[in-house]
Amino acid sequence: MELLIITVVLGLISFFVPRNSIKLFGLAGSFVSAAIALIHLINFETGSSVSIFETTEMPFGLTFQIGYDGLGLMMIALTNLIVPIILLSNYNNSATSENRVFHALVFFMQFGLLGVFTAADGILFYIFWEFTLIPVFLILYWFGKGTNKVLLKFFIYTLVGSLAMLLSFIALGLKANSFAYSDLLAVHLPAKEACWIISGFLLAFAIKIPLFPFHTWQPDTYTTAPMSGTMLLSALMLKMALFGMMKWMIPLAPEGVAEIKWLVISLSVIGIIYAAIICIKQQDIKRLFAYASISHLGLIAAGIMVFTKNALVGASVQIVNHSLIAIGLFLVADILESRLKTRELSHMQGTATLAPKFGFWFAVIAFASVSVPFTAGFIGEFTLLKELTKFHFAVGLLSATTLVFGAVYTLRAYQLSMFGAPKNESFEDLRWNEILVFILLTIAIVGIGLFPQFIADLVGPSLDKLIIIFNETTTH
């Protein structure tokens, strides 16, 4: 229980911490939450599921159950380890890092995320899912540069999706007379009904991920959000959707998967290529990384839809990998934007000469994002593409073009901003906290690149269970 409560407590205390020490408090608090997650990780027995809190005595078939298995724990650990890194990256952005409300919102956001990853009840999942929207929206609204129009688009978009998901939950819950995860799983549906229900989930998740063509809220939102907001969105919030697809959408209505499989995979593949091509001529570095994110996530979504053990293992590795890379890339974008006061690539030429440390670490992140050997992406992409090729040759081949396009746009962004004769007079090289972030990210990326088995072992038994459920229903 302390896992969730600590974030609420931290959030509440944040309001009363003196202004000059809020930075340190936030950082320390987030590290405590990370430590708690690590303790859970160490004590976790592979293949077990841990109940955190449970009561079934509630009206309307509602239950209050939270707990986690391997898959949930991976997401919990990811959340609790990423939040300190985000706060560390943000340490010197005084507009946010010295603000009490900001820290409170980040901790509430963390609370919501942990709720999503631990909820074992449909309605509870939905409540946490919606809850996360509030703090992140306020962060964007109070600390970002987004116009009301951009924020409204983001808000309406995600809300419409969530409501469709709520309908699906209600429909399922009425059948099961309960909203508990285990009861929802037990419901058998006719194919057509399952189709309805699964598309309710799909709308919510497709918007959040986002899948083509539901992605138009994303580039605007990412570019106008403050760095920490972009990081929360891309590294953590959209992972809720991928997690939701794996744990909720497909196992709850496996009968409908056959009908929508091709639709989702096609959209994912279109997204991979479409977003990558847009990146090739993109001039705004933050927007470029936003589109790159769409391209990377398309691959994960396609892999999840294939729903084999290998594909899900690959997707899990890639989920973690994408979070790390997203943090790195958006930190790079923010360093450039805040010091040069522009996001245009054409104004950045030659920065590596002025700031060699920055040039080096940006190169590391850029190479990690094109999935070179020794990085987590190398393993994740290899596994996902292997499964997609096995699923259908054309799908695998088209998805694999990300290898080429990724190299084109990532290296272009790197070269235009870093190489050539310097255009600016000076550029402040990395500060200690930024270097620390890059080092931590690199350790994690290379660590997973060499020992991906750790993740596979953690999530493996949970994935096996999901696949058994899926296979039992679909083969009947």
Partner 1 sequence: MGTETLILLVLLFPLIGGILNGTIGKNLSETVVGTIGTLMVAIPFVISFSIFLSLDSVVNVPLFSLLKLTDFSLNAGLQVDALAIWMTMIITGIGSLIHIFSMGYMKGDPGFYKFFTYLNLFIFSMLILVLGSSYFMLFFGWEGVGICSYLLIGFHYNDKEKGLLNTLAARKAFVMNRIGDLGLLIGCFLLINLFGSLEFSVIAEKMKSLSIATDSVAIIGITLCLFIAATGKSAQIPLFTWLPDAMAGPTPVSALIHAATMVTAGIYLVVRSNFLFELAPYTQHIILYIGLATSLVAAFIAMRQNDIKKVLAYSTVSQLGLMFVALGLGSYTVAIFHVTTHAFFKALLFLGSGSIIHANHHEQDITKMGGLKKYMPVTHLVFLLGTLAIAGFPLLSGFFSKDEILAAGFVHSPVIFSLLILSASLTAIYMFRMYFLVFFGQFRGDHHTQEHLHESPSVMTLPLIVLAIFSVLGGALNLPDFIVSNGSHWLDHFLNHGTFGLDKIHPHHIETSSAVGIMIGTSIITFLIIGISYWMYVSKQKVTKEEHDFTGWEKLSSKKLYFDEIYNALFVKSVEWKASKVLPFVENRILVKGIGLLTQVISFSGSQIRKIQTGILSSYFFWMILGIVGLISYYLIYFKLWNF
Q: Which is nearer to partner 1, 83 or 445 (CB)?
A: 445
Query: Does 175 contact partner 1 by CB under 8 A?
Result: no
Query: Does 15 contact partner 1 by CB under 8 A?
Result: no
Q: Which of 24, 38, 213, 394 binds partner 1 (CB under 8 A)?
A: 213
Query: Does 451 contact partner 1 by CB under 8 A?
Result: yes
- Dihedral of the alpha carbons of 118, 121, 163, 474, in degrees to the nearest 10: 100
Q: Which of 126, 367, 427, 438 binds partner 1 (CB under 8 A)?
A: 367
Q: Side chain identity at 223, as an amino acid letter?
A: T
How far is it, in rounded angstroms, from Cα 108 to Cα 135? 7
CA 122 centroid distance within chain = 21
Q: Which of 39, 152, 174, 258 binds partner 1 (CB under 8 A)?
A: 152
Q: Side chain identity at 139, as an amino acid letter?
A: I
Q: Which is nearer to partner 1, 35 or 277 (CB)?
A: 277
Residue 213: asked if its preceding bond is cis (omega within 30°), the reply is: yes
Using DSSP, how many helices (H) and how many strands (E) does the chain show?
A: 23, 2
Q: Which is nearer to partner 1, 340 or 450 (CB)?
A: 450
Query: Does 407 contact partner 1 by CB under 8 A?
Result: yes
How far is it, in rounded angstroms, from Cα 118 to Cα 112? 10
Query: Does 167 contact partner 1 by CB under 8 A?
Result: yes
Query: Does 259 contact partner 1 by CB under 8 A?
Result: yes
Backbone phi, psi, residue 469, to 5°:
-60, -45
Query: Does 415 contact partner 1 by CB under 8 A?
Result: yes
In whole angstroms, the minimum distance from the beta carbon of 101 to partner 1 comes to 25
Query: Does 266 contact partner 1 by CB under 8 A?
Result: no
Per the CB < 8 A criterion, the answer to whether 136 and 229 are in contact is: yes
Q: Which is nearer to partner 1, 177 or 453 (CB)?
A: 453
CA angle 37/76/56 to nearest 5° reads 105
Evaluated on CA atoms 421, 426, 427, 431, the torsion sign reads: positive
Q: Which of 279, 336, 365, 368 binds partner 1 (CB under 8 A)?
A: 279
Query: Does 221 contact partner 1 by CB under 8 A?
Result: no
In whole angstroms, the minimum distance from the beta carbon of 470 to partner 1 comes to 14
Per the CB < 8 A criterion, the answer to whether 251 and 462 are in contact is: no
Q: Which of 84, 173, 377, 452 binds partner 1 (CB under 8 A)?
A: 452
Query: Does 280 contact partner 1 by CB under 8 A?
Result: yes
In whole angstroms, the minimum distance from the beta carbon of 276 to partner 1 comes to 9
How far is it, in rounded angstroms, from Cα 327 to Cα 157? 24
**Total residues at interface with partner 1 (CB under 8 A):** 68
- What are residue 50's DSSP bridge partners? 68
Q: Which is nearer to partner 1, 251 or 350 (CB)?
A: 350
Considering only 52-60, 83-91, 331-339, 371-379, which stretch makes contact with partner 1 by CB under 8 A?
371-379
Query: Does 216 contact partner 1 by CB under 8 A?
Result: yes
CA angle 206/211/216 to nearest 5° reads 105
Q: What is the SS3 assignment for 436?
A: helix
List Cα–Cα distances, 68 to 72, 102, 213, in angstroms. 5, 28, 33
In whole angstroms, the minimum distance from the beta carbon of 119 to partner 1 comes to 21
CA 7 centroid distance within chain = 19
* Number of neighbouring beta carbons within 10 Å of residue 280: 13
Query: Does 101 contact partner 1 by CB under 8 A?
Result: no
CA 257 centroid distance within chain = 23
Positions that interact with partner 1 (CB under 8 A): 152-153, 156-157, 159-160, 163-164, 166-167, 195-196, 199-200, 203, 213, 215-217, 259, 263, 274, 277-282, 308-310, 313, 349-350, 352-353, 367, 372-373, 378-379, 382-383, 385-386, 389-390, 396-397, 400-401, 403-404, 407-408, 411-412, 415, 418-422, 450-453, 456
